[in-house]
Structure 1
């Protein structure tokens, strides 16, 4: 082992800490960007966040600083926009380093499906790529959009909105996860099950824990045992625990 820290590969490069500084290696372990940064994040859309002397900027895959370190905080690019903090507030900048959505929010997250979730005071809403408020900050919490829906918290219960801000599944759950295809894990009465996009409970809330669907299967827990269910709610059989 030769690195003090090593992050996952992204776009052909991995951020690693050699000595007291971070740089980037390729899949052969060769330094492509020499260790010189106080912190380095994964590449996304051709750029990566780096930190120098308590300020954040961005480098390209050659190691050139394309956005000089001048920000209080900075996130990876998503949909050609990145969250950036300046003067105590959050906004969004483009790959040229232009603050296209001026810092005005108390909190902000990466864009997903054309919308970025933002916080004003204690309320959450969404902005579009032009910086206009697309969904007014009126929720106790709001998650990123996934599959056209976003999880929101209203008076202690979780539900779902669409991209217009309409409540398409009324807040009624003790917990709700993002949709993966046409299924989302929800909690009712201390147990987990799955709903479809019509809000119908299609897999009964009978599990101690439940994960997202992937490749048609979801990981579920009952007591201290784990298994998998399919989209119909049937438990996967055939493997024997050892």
Structure 2
């Protein structure tokens, strides 16, 4: 169980108030709760027990807006974009000011530093199953990284820094690499400060994936083994889909609304209305750009590929033209004839 002393809670609240001085004046409202702290969200306050365990969220008048007794801990300093990280049964999730769960409890505590991050520039760095992931502020998965990645900083001016196997490089908001790796003999494991100075370049996320936009993995004892396609099995949990190996170990997070079986090393995955494709390392190699209503399953022209969103001989059927003809892409995401 997580234990947080009252002294530490008060110190954290004081430091938080000081750091927010230029944003808004933080004065906890009067209420019947014994311990009340500021959050980084204006007009939202956190009531806690003496040991720091969260009790409730309050508005600026001291009225309770949400009960938090179900949670072990909360991070008021990371309340951003309307959501705050909370801990439940050892798992990290995010709630809004009314206590509604916005991002489910599917994530683990960070391996170093604070146990969870807040949203920065509509992006959230999270950690699950030994991997860093980039999420949108609504919980949509942007990218999953290889286990050899030891740190990802928060986004600053549209760029985050990744540390992987002694190398450091920058990524854009789609998780694509935008700078060549720089060998670093000493890399900090702390998250980037919003005031950190960083050299950036203006980039446009590619509409077609290229080999340079993918994360280069380095073989190591901790890396996920390159399992054959047949070893990855789709599985549903709490309304979301992911993939496990033959032993039932989670290989791809339960983050998708719908998935297709792997074929030729790629699997179609859907978030919202759009399909994209991931590889066996869970990297998004073809972006979410194929609308779910764009495929007419009874199409017969041409005969191959026979099944939608499944690669066959290097091509996948991803939509239909007005006359019913199939539209296909290659494994690099380039439009192609299906024949």
TM superposition score normalised by structure 1: 0.56
Q: Is the 8 A contact 1:188 1:205 kept in 2?
A: no
CA-based RMSD: 2.7
Counterpart of 1:101 (choices 17, 26, 30) is: 30
1:171 matches 2:105: yes
Q: Is the 8 A contact 1:148 1:162 kept in 2?
A: yes
CA distance in structure 1 between the aligned counterparts of 2:105 and 2:50, rounded to whole angstroms: 22
CA distance in structure 2 between the aligned counterparts of 1:205 and 1:241, rounded to whole angstroms: 19
More helix, by proportion: 2
* CA offsets 1:125-163 (integer angstroms, 9 cap, x no match): 321111112221322111232011111111100011122
1:190 matches 2:130: yes
Structure 1, unmatched stretches of 5+, are 1-71, 83-91, 93-99
CA distance in structure 2 between the aligned counterparts of 1:218 and 1:127, rounded to whole angstroms: 33
Cα pair distance change 1:108/1:240, threshold 3 Å: closer
More strand, by proportion: 1
Q: How does 1:194-233 map to 2 (within 5 A)?
A: 194-206=134-146, 207-233=149-175
Pick the structure with greater CA Rg.
2
Shift of 1:240: 5.2
Question: Structure 1 segments of 4 or more deviating over 4 A?
Answer: 238-242
Shift of 1:113: 2.8
Q: Is the 8 A contact 1:208 1:223 kept in 2?
A: yes
CA distance in structure 2 between the aligned counterparts of 1:140 and 1:151, rounded to whole angstroms: 11
CA distance in structure 1 between the aligned counterparts of 2:42 and 2:118, rounded to whole angstroms: 13
TM superposition score normalised by structure 2: 0.41
Structure 2, unmatched stretches of 5+, are 1-9, 110-115, 185-339
Q: How does 1:13-92 map to 2 (within 5 A)?
A: 75=14, 76=17, 79-82=24-27, 92=28
CA distance in structure 1 between the aligned counterparts of 2:30 and 2:73, rounded to whole angstroms: 21
